[in-house]
Structure 1
């Protein structure tokens, strides 16, 4: 019987580094991966036949064979060994078929079974649908390196002709992510979808872009779990909670905040207005600002530049942070946060007016109404983040 081993994971395999001499790491049930001095990783099958240890049977190149497929082959070879049959001839035939992995259809299968294994059911479903419906029928039999930007554009144009520009953009993004994976696995050298601008596929009126509740939750959850600097995460979260303009927030000063009374007073001169602008902060925003206050490095600015010259971060900093995350949200810009909040609040207020019993005095108390409205919005945002967390964790 093969020696028991702790099963490997895809991330552990990717992390294996070459050494001065090649070496093997066992996955279990006879399956091992051999790391060559060049960094190439080869699946092998270790077995004993007729009481004698046999030379390793080669399964194939890790770049073309996923962990799941390698395990299935090892299991099949083990069944042959149990019958007293050498698996070498079968392994050789399998390797003959391995060359198919240089065509996009086989590479896409490798992508789906490995890269998408930890994604949600909905994410896998929509990705698989785009591949099966539009991508693979058109270019599935092409060699990986032969797919061009023109191929991607042609696919997107066919989808747009069906009256589905958003689906066309989604499909382009699927191809882009697929090729990013293939490049990381050294199966491709360039990304044909990366040079196809999103705006050339589908353009949307940015004045009408509103994020859904689910998009808000996923976006903020992605920001929160990313590796960008903590102050930038909090700034993006505060943009959503306060509905402030980006410039108003990043140029804000500590002197403008009264956190004990949950107030942010933006001076009229700073916003080119006749009167100061009052923002009544929900408790979530106050908590984020207190965290920033405890860790502050500037006596003046809430979001100081890391250059240490006591000035706020550049106006492009938050945009660059969001861009670096690669958020898969169609035609999104930071200003969409304000429009999104306003739209959702209108819907919430209409529902509240239809079902709530509000006294005349409360209705005329503008300050109380504003505070109540922003708190309801912050609670809604929290609920969407929690739903996104549950979806990722599989507890929804």
Structure 2
């Protein structure tokens, strides 16, 4: 049976009951200390200072602690399951206290440090964060309705952790609250969780069902931290039974590229949307990186486009900046977009001043054009695979192609190969643009005549 503080205290008390001598007292203290050490996470000298170093902290057979290199009392409690929990340890009125902040990566290193600093300020003012936390939730009983808890979780966690919480808000109000909102949080069991997730699956949205599961897991993790529930019922449902991602293989052939872009460019779709979807194929950028593009990051003289923040890597959890080398064709397209955008900061202007287009704007334009053809379905992200496939078939340097896609090399090669392949990428980008325009330019001559066709052919 797993030892607890109570079990240890009771067992050690038997020593004192039988023998109240000084030796027995000393034995009690020794046994209690040794047994307590077994159940408490051990500080083995592990430290961290960056997200990369946190990712390198792997689970071990026993729990252990790693501390922030800033020596500020911030720790990570790494459990054998792989779960990492932020803990702030401090001294208040000559007593050691600890405050559980939350899970990593739900709470980033930067945010954890900010929370630590906020609580350090309270200590300096004579306020115990631990006691204050207990008072804050006093009376917040286990019979609270899940909708009440969910609203509080949205305000305290989601809105602070996410730049755009809209998707989580929609999952809460459309999928979770209608199923669980009327129930006391302490009454929610595995069956309730399963029904909520499977309702989304039965609608045909397996990926969204997995998102709902992930949100519920995080919500109940937080509820466990607050002491509202004893365990997380979501853990009983394996992700593999909810959703299994399938590797996509869709890419466009040369004929499909010609057909789609001829249809797109000759359609009545708003011109910036057309040019954006064309840039997606020419630049190899992700959709999110395109729609957030700003003019301040594009240097026409140096022929480079800086993307300061790309999509976070799924393995490391952090974003990398990247550079796109501009071909003649890309430059001319961007100049046309600049004429349309005027003094707006974003390349693709939103409905309100100072904003960029919505997340679905390119999707809507692409689907509208695709509906006018007989082509099999594909997504805008498939255009990156299309470019990679044709570039590899044409014999370009594979590492240079991966750099253009902003992929991270894996294994030993990834550790030692830090080359950026600037020369190869400049040549690759120009030849790739030439290749695409050799396919689509002539069928769309009227469209391209609208802006400096002599530089685009």
User: What TM-score do you get using the length of structure 1 for normalisation?
Assistant: 0.41
User: Higher relative contact order at CA 8 Å, sep ≥6: structure 1 or structure 2?
Assistant: 1
User: What TM-score do you get using the length of structure 2 for normalisation?
Assistant: 0.36
